[in-house]
């Protein structure tokens, strides 16, 4: 085991991306998902996205938002593992669901997808704000881009965006390059700077801005350029994952199957990148990728075998841990060079990067 000195009374934590100990390797895709719609037509108009989830083993329970029997839990037990809100105009949920119930659902470690549009209600905006993003306050605003729009037969108002500014993360959007731009039409949002857990996954271009496409600008827009997020995700400290976007249309069959050509480009793709992008992103949201577990964590004083939650000044320690990642079918060794262990009291005082044996075992450098 690796040895190192601790210079104060401390307790231990290990710093891992997307670490969870409760994920079941036996039935990783045997999960129930509640899908709330404000229009049942969305079930068919967005069927390709829903079918991609079903084919991966998810059990989707579709309900209208005004259903008086909607409930996320019963007798203290949650009925679902994830919640999809494809109901941008909902003013009030039926049953026992409200903002507090949804936030408690996430706080309990469950996953959430929110898709809004230009008709986003105050209720949906409030839920998004609670999750760390703020949609444009102007209810008539949409993302407009006069240089990054999708070419179409009609000139239009340039609110149909073709974006290829993806987050650089194979874990979140997959290792296979998304060649075609993603179509987006809807409202933009900004990230709460206080919330370090929110990430932009798809950004607007530097030439984009948020405004009412039907009126001339009288004042500078509040959201401009790449500060506008089109799609964002949250990795909460309790392992809950959240996806937020202002375009319900980007999940639609029409956008999935549509060809796309970005303005200023001579390349025309027969199919947009929406299906690949949203399918791969959903694998991360629903813990099919980027999900780690730590086992056989060991720490004790040199020369001893019993573990302790507290150590004192000048204690010399030995520490090791094994880390695995879910591959979709089994737990595989997770090998990387950025795993750290920290000892802390009120705040971290000792932070050590761990080396590994190229298999699963990590030790302090």
Question: What is the predicted pLDDT for the residue at 340?
Answer: 83
Give 43-86 pLDDT, tens digit per residue: 999 999 999 999 999 999 999 999 999 999 999 999 999 999 99
Q: How far is CA 48 from the centre of its chain?
A: 20
CB 97 within 8 A of CB 85: no
To the nearest whole number, what is the mean pLDDT of the chain?
Answer: 88
Among candidate residues 145, 151, 135, the one with its CA nearest the CA of residue 187: 135
Options 3.40.50, 1.10.357, 3.40.1800, 3.40.630; CATH of 32-286: 3.40.50
- CA 365 to CA 362: how far, in whole Å? 9
CB 124 within 8 A of CB 90: yes
- CA 152 to CA 154: how far, in whole Å? 5
CATH 3.40.50, the chain: domain bounds: 32-286
- CA distances from residue 33 to 153, 168, 278, 313 in whole angstroms, order as listed: 38, 28, 16, 49
Confidence of residue 8 (pLDDT cuts 50, 70, 90): very low
Give 279-327 pLDDT, tens digit per residue: 999 999 999 988 888 888 888 888 888 888 787 777 888 888 888 888 7
SS3 49: helix
Question: What is the predicted pLDDT for the residue at 4?
Answer: 52
Question: What is the predicted pLDDT for the residue at 217?
Answer: 86
- CA 150 to CA 254: how far, in whole Å? 14
Other CB atoms within a 10 A radius of the CB of residue 62 amount to 16
Question: What is this structure's pTM?
Answer: 0.86
Confidence of residue 24 (pLDDT cuts 50, 70, 90): low
- CA 156 to CA 67: how far, in whole Å? 38
* In the chain, % of residues over pLDDT 70: 88
Confidence of residue 350 (pLDDT cuts 50, 70, 90): confident
- CA 87 to CA 236: how far, in whole Å? 23
Burial 255-268 (b: 16+ CB within 10 A, else e): bbebebbbbeeeee
Q: Which residues pair with 137 in a beta bridge?
A: none
What the block records as the tokens of 235 is: 């990795």
Question: What is the predicted pLDDT for the residue at 7?
Answer: 42
Question: What is the predicted pLDDT for the residue at 245?
Answer: 98
Among candidate residues 127, 126, 133, 160, the one with its CA nearest the CA of residue 146: 160
Other CB atoms within a 10 A radius of the CB of residue 82 amount to 24
> CA neighbours within 13 Å on the CB side: how many for 48?
16
Backbone angles phi, psi at 79, to 5 degrees: -90, -15
User: Tokens 């941008």 map to which residue?
Assistant: 88
């Amino acid at each position: 085991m690796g040895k190192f000195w601790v210079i104060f009374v401390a307790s231990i934590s290990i710093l891992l991306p997307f670490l969870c100990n409760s994920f079941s390797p036996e039935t990783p895709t045997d999960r129930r998902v509640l899908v709330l719609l404000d229009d049942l037509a969305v079930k068919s108009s967005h069927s390709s996205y829903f079918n991609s989830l079903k084919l991966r083993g998810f059990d989707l329970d579709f309900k209208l938002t005004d259903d008086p029997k909607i409930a996320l839990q019963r007798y203290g037990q949650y009925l679902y593992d994830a919640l999809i809100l494809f109901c941008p105009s909902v003013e009030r949920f039926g049953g026992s669901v409200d903002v507090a119930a949804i936030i408690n659902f996430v706080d309990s470690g469950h996953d959430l997808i929110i898709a809004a549009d230009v008709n986003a209600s105050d209720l949906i905006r409030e839920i998004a704000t609670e999750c760390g993003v703020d949609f444009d306050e102007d209810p008539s605003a949409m993302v407009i881009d006069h240089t990054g729009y999708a070419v179409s037969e009609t000139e239009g108002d340039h609110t149909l965006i073709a974006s290829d500014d993806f987050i650089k993360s194979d874990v979140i959007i997959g290792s296979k390059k998304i060649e075609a731009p993603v179509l987006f039409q809807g409202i933009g949002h900004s990230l709460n700077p206080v919330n370090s857990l929110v990430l932009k996954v798809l950004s607007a271009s530097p030439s984009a801005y948020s405004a009412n496409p039907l009126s001339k600008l009288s004042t500078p827009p509040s959201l401009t350029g790449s500060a506008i997020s089109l799609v964002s995700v949250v990795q909460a400290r309790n392992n809950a994952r959240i996806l937020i976007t202002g375009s319900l249309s980007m999940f639609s069959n029409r956008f999935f199957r549509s060809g796309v050509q970005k303005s200023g480009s001579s390349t025309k793709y027969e199919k947009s990148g929406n299906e690949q992008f949203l399918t791969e992103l959903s694998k991360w949201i629903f813990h099919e990728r980027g999900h780690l577990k730590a086992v056989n964590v060991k720490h004790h004083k040199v020369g001893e075998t019993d573990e302790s939650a507290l150590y004192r000044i000048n204690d010399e320690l030995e520490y090791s841990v094994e880390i695995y990642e879910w591959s979709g079918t089994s737990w595989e060794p997770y090998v990387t060079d950025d795993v750290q262990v920290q000892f802390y009291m009120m705040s971290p005082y000792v932070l050590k990067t761990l080396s590994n044996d190229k298999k699963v075992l990590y030790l302090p450098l």
